[in-house]
Structures are given as structure tokens and as C-alpha cells.
Amino acid sequence: MFTRSNFSSFKNNRLQLCVVCAFVLALTSVSSAQEVQKIASLSKVETSRAAAAKENKYTFIMFWKNQDDATKAMWSTLQQNLSGKNDTTTFVAVNTSDPAEAKIVEEYGVSRAPMPLTLAVAPNGAITGSFVKQINADYIQQSFVSPAKCRCMKTLQSRKMVLLCVNAGSSSAMPQGVQDFKAVPCYQNVVEVVNVSQTEAAEADFLKELEVPQDGQNTKVVFMAPPGVMVGMYNGNVTSQQLIAELKKAGKSCGVEGCKHCK
């Protein structure tokens, strides 16, 4: 569960846009050829995950080593709970000893993890659930998270900071202090601003987890740093100087790789 002091939920079952411009036909042809080559190099599971992401689906990946009772039970539970949800999910199994799937095993760093292990992967690549040895319907349901929570999780898992701006209404205006903080050279590429409205029903549970006041009046800024630390929550008039001071007070200094020399 998300808390004010620690976002450790990524470790506990709750747990990276490229813009392509075709300038000339020749360049488009080359890009297409490269894309075909890239797709051809993907394993069966990587291809399935990529296809699911394009269709805005979650992918549940079960990693296993031995066909023991725990593995059979986990796979059976996934089948029972996901087989009828083809419009939102797909699920696949990966034998960690299969050379063809070595890349995906390395990508998620699960070669030495306890097995079986299921990871829930959102369309944007965020890991929203991690289940060892066993899984049930409740765990599966908890893996489906709101859009804002999904963006925050992905950003933190990418070793970047998050400034979540919770606006009273539908406005997505960025507070001046947040703009100034993001403009600091050593922070601008390692922080993502996520806007959400207090009135968005889909985000109600997420905002409740964060204990964001639902006063319907004032913008709140929630500052998060990897791997899952909630630096603090502030009013919309927070300044960049305050954010920097709070970040350093939290012991994160520059917070992430890439801004070690920020002053």
C-alpha cells in the first residue's frame, strides 16, 4: 500500500514514447525495415507482450523452473481468472531455462528469484504486481491500477522522480513551483509531472492511498522519489526552492542518477 513515508508497495504485490518522423520515403523504408528486423528478433513472449501493449492490455507473465504443484496451481489460477478477459489482458508462461526467453528473464532480473513468480505488466511497461509462489483473484484484481498510478509507478521504476499535481477541478495547469523545479538543468530530465483531478473517479482509490485531501478547492503537489519514497505533500504554491530543500532533507540529495552534481 502506498504510504506517506514509503512507496514500498512495489515490492509487495502492488507494485520502460518514441516519436518517429518520416522525412522522405527512403527514410521511411529504412525505418520500416528496421522495425521488421526488431520484431523478428523478439521471442514469443516478448512479441505477445508488445502486441498486448499496443492494444492497451495488461500482460501477466508467469516465470517458472519446475512443473511442481505450486507452478501448476499458479497457472491454473491465471487461466481461471484471465481467460475471460481477453479484451484487457493476456497471460503467458516463461520457462527461465529456455534460451529463447533469456532476454526477458534478464530484463526482469528473475533468474534467481523464487519460483513460480508472476509479474503483472501494464501497457506502459510498469510492473503493477509481483506474486511469488501463489496468486489469487484478489491479487490479480489489485494489479489493475488507475492511469495516474500506472504512470507514477513506471516513472519510479525507471529511476525518475514524480511530481503529482492533484488539481481541484479539471484544470491541468502546472503550479509555478513545479515548472521552476523541472526547469533546473539537472532535474529536468529526471522528473515527470503527472496531472490528475480530484474529481476523476478512476483515481479516487489512488488519491486515498496517498492521503490527498479531497477539499475540492486547492491544488496539492505530491513529491515522490525512487525507489518508492514519498518526499512530501505540498500546497500548489510550493516553490522550487522548497522542493529542492525537501528532496535533500529526505536524504535523496539529487535523488536519481543523472543529477549527482546538482547544486
Our CA angle for 221, 167, 259, nearest 5°, is 30
Mean pLDDT of the chain: 83
C-alpha cell at 109: 532480473
488539481: which residue's cell?
167
Burial class (CB in 10 A: 0-12, 13-18, 19+), 33: exposed
pLDDT in tens, 68-82: 999 999 999 999 999
> 44 to each of 72, 86, 108, 160, 204, how far by Cα in Å?
21, 18, 16, 30, 37
Q: What is the pTM of this model?
A: 0.80
pLDDT in tens, 82-139: 999 999 999 999 999 999 999 999 999 999 999 999 999 999 999 999 999 999 999 9
pLDDT in tens, 201-237: 999 999 999 999 877 778 999 999 998 889 999 999 9
Assess whether pLDDT exceeds 50 at residue 32: no
